[in-house]
Amino acid sequence: MNYIPSRITLCNSFNKGSILQKTLLSIVILLCALLHCPGTALAVTAERLNLALRDRLEQTSINFSDIQTDKEANKMQRWLAVIYTKTGLQPLWVTTDGPGKKAEILFSVLINSEADGLIPEQYHVNRITSLWNSTTPEELIDLDTLLTLAFITYAHDAQEGRTHSRKSNPDLLVKDEDTSAFYKLAFIKTALSAPDFNQFMDSLLPSHKFYRNLRAALPRYQVLATAGGWSPVAAGKSIHPGEQDSRIPAIGKRLQIEGFLQSATTDSPVYDKALEQAVIQFQLRHGLTSDGVIGKSTITAMNIPAEQKVRQIIINLERWREEAHDLGKKYVLVDIAGFTLKGIENDMVMLEMPVIVGTQLHETPVFSDLIQYIDLNPYWNIPPSIARNELLADLRKNPQYLNKEHIRLFSDRTSEAREINPLSIDWNQVSPNQMGQFVLRQDPGKWNALGAIKFVFPNHFNVYMHDTPAQAYFKRSNRAFSHGCIRLGNPLKLAEFLLGGSEKGWSSEQVNKLISTGKRTIIRLPTPLPVHITYQTVTSDQNGIISFYTDIYDRDQQLEDILFKLQHIDTTTDKGMVQVRKSNFSIVTPAKTKIDNSLRQ
């Protein structure tokens, strides 16, 4: 009863009061509203977001969680300024309601990037996670700029590889402030305007089956490594099928763990048929002589730890990212480390053969090109380096050497060059530099070092594929014997594949008929076909079965030094502090981060 009158009294008293009283009461009411409804005061608007973005870009010092120097951070800051200025000074990933759909897709890709052997921590995932549910304009803009930086870094790593940037461009994102920033600007505009951003993100990685198969094998070997892998097999004398050896049970267990043997429960020391077949398969998939004999090389391969195989798979995923992503519908693929050549058409292996590649002193280079023509009964124009370093010594021992090998000698490389009788020269008086001035050319024939066929894809390495009269080398498991060119185990079959086979009038028999004439013949391919010369120490066959090969050029260690040195960096705090830890190749998304992982299915 007394409550209502008191309210009326208060109102009547207020109505009779001064303007000052009215003003004070209004302020009180407003403050009460603010205290009870703080969200109203902090409501994020587009205008406040844009103002926060401007303030963010004008800052002279910004913490990027995995940037190690002030110089690099300043470059990032200037680069971000170009991107946002040219996109209208508006957020790219967040709205007044928080992260948008594209932001969710991007963050899901970043978190799951370890499936491709990448490092989620390098894409600011910890800092992004802490900002994901932000409600202030300033934190949302921090999130937006971090997502932009993470997107460009990830896109670079996915398309060109991480080591590519650190070899040729240590600054990673900004080599030249203007051209690099504007290139990234065009790229990010393309990405954000893509009708299907999820598909766009998928397209950044290689889509061919060799990459997909390695990617699929990675988690299996990570599980094996996490479970402890396998115990090493003791060294000892070679074990032949049917023999007894106390190491046989341990060898069976070792092969069973990796999947080469279904069961290894027996303690018998007898090297039986089942184990022999498992050993042969292991040898085949490790580039070893598949004779079933458990010798030193086989034991060495068995004792490679599971953790090292994980690293090896990650290293080779990196290699594929650095090379051509679209291999073509029909192409030739050479694996230097595996000593193999494959002819691929419509994603099917149509042809496979052994090859001989360069020695460690004359490494075969990694590159892609187009096969332009086939040279039947070719001349061999001997490189000056071979003339200086090898033929001069042969001529000093035997002046008849050139005649014996059907090699003709010319005075120089001009059109007026005259042919010289090698017997007219005292080769003991010729220096290596003088030897390099001569032109030496071997005539076509069974003696020719290039054999009967040469496959030409003009390149600055002066590398090509060719036949060889030295067929015995193909019987060896390690076939690094050339000066850098690629010698073929079955060149006639490659010619048939390139020319379209019998359907196009080019069977191996028809090619061989042209060779038998002894005349030099050039056959130009109607459409030049891609050839990809790769160096893969882990690869897959037609069915996705993984094989591991010896690192004949010791290149894996160079990549490992870069990739796994970086793998130990973890960004853990909002202030960008860096903590060193041992990587376990995993990251867990906090429950508070609302990411729809179905977007990546």
Q: Please count the other Cβ atoms lying within 10 Å of the Cβ belonging to residue 395.
A: 21
In our burial notation (b when 16+ CB lie closer than 10 A, e otherwise), range 291-330 reads: ebbbbebbbebbeeebebbbbbbbbbbbbbbbbebebbeb
Whole-number pLDDT of residue 583: 34
The CATH number of the structural domain formed by 230-304 is 1.10.101.10
Is residue 484 classed as helix, strand or coil in its secondary structure? coil
d(CA 127, CA 101): 19
Whole-number pLDDT of residue 71: 63
Nearest CA to 562 out of 158, 115, 170 is that of 170
d(CA 340, CA 329): 19
Whole-number pLDDT of residue 8: 31
Whole-number pLDDT of residue 37: 46
Whole-number pLDDT of residue 5: 35
Residue keyed to tokens 């951003």: 197
d(CA 322, CA 223): 26
d(CA 335, CA 357): 9
d(CA 585, CA 307): 11
Whole-number pLDDT of residue 586: 29
Per-10-residue mean pLDDT for the chain, 601 residues long?
35 44 48 45 81 85 52 74 91 96 98 96 94 95 95 91 54 37 80 95 95 97 97 97 97 96 86 96 96 97 97 96 94 98 96 97 96 98 94 96 96 89 96 94 96 97 96 95 97 97 93 96 97 97 92 92 64 29 29 34 35
CA 240 from centroid of its chain's CA atoms: 39
Whole-number pLDDT of residue 266: 76
CB 143 within 8 A of CB 151: no
pTM value > 0.85: no
d(CA 435, CA 439): 9
Whole-number pLDDT of residue 286: 97
H helical segments located in 112-247: 125-131, 137-160, 162-168, 177-192, 197-203, 209-226
Whole-number pLDDT of residue 63: 55
Whole-number pLDDT of residue 64: 52
Whole-number pLDDT of residue 160: 87
Query: Residue 18 class from Cβ within 10 Å (0-12 exposed, 13-18 middle, 19+ buried)?
Result: exposed
Whole-number pLDDT of residue 258: 97
Whole-number pLDDT of residue 58: 84
Nearest CA to 544 out of 216, 79, 77 is that of 216
Two structure tokens written together for 156:
């670079």
Q: How far is CA 36 from CA 31, 32, 39, in A?
A: 9, 6, 9
CB 407 within 8 A of CB 549: no
Nearest CA to 292 out of 272, 306, 264 is that of 272
Angle at 385 between CA 380 and CA 391, to 5 degrees: 70
Q: Please count the other Cβ atoms lying within 10 Å of the Cβ belonging to residue 335.
A: 21
Backbone angles phi, psi at 243, to 5 degrees: -80, 170
Domain residue spans in the chain?
A: 3-41, 46-205+569-600, 230-304, 327-540
**Which one is the CATH code of 327-540: 2.70.70.10, 2.40.440.10, 2.60.40.10, 3.30.2290.10?**
2.40.440.10
